[in-house]
Structure 1
Amino acid sequence: MGAVTLLGAAAGILTTGAWLPQLVRCWQTRSAGDISWSYLLVLGIGVGMWAAYGCYTNDVVIVGANAMTMLALLTLAWFKITFRSTSEIGSALLPMGKQPADSE
């Protein structure tokens, strides 16, 4: 394995591993409400494009790192769905601009 490949692998490990503290925190607090859907969507599209680029250029490091990052993003999306509080679900059912206290 060449020096450039090792550099890419180290970068992939660090950037993918950077998601671990966020995943652990979401799991411990059972909350992912502070993570926006638009953030996950835009980042997911970018990660998917990087993975496609890696496939096109036959770069295993890029494909592997972005596949692991996509797994982390999908896990965060699953946490957002699974850990929704009942107040979040109730608020989603209220008319726009209304808060749970305003519904009386």
Structure 2
Amino acid sequence: MATFYIKRGDTAPALRYALLPETVDLSGASVAFVMDGLGRQPAHVIEARPAVVQYDWQPGDTDRSGLHRAEFEVTYSDGAIETWPNAGYLLVQISEDLG
């Protein structure tokens, strides 16, 4: 499982994730980011092939410190849905800030 680290209250850096295998093609697809306590949020396709997706944090997204499970959900142009990672979850560690 990959772990992404960010401080409480931060909105950068964005969470960028490469979907494997490299043969995945996101042409015409839409993507959502889903995280414990955050729900489903729109994300972006950065590259269709090889597939790279990104979630840009919004104010309030990182207000709850702790370890959170997350995933990217892709809806292909034919309506099929696939979730990454396929096994387990991305982990998002939101650390307390000092300010």
TM normalised by structure 2 equals: 0.23
Richer in strand (by share): 2
More helix by share: 1
Looking at both structures, which has the greater relative contact order when contacts are Cα pairs under 8 Å and sequence separation is at least 6?
A: 2
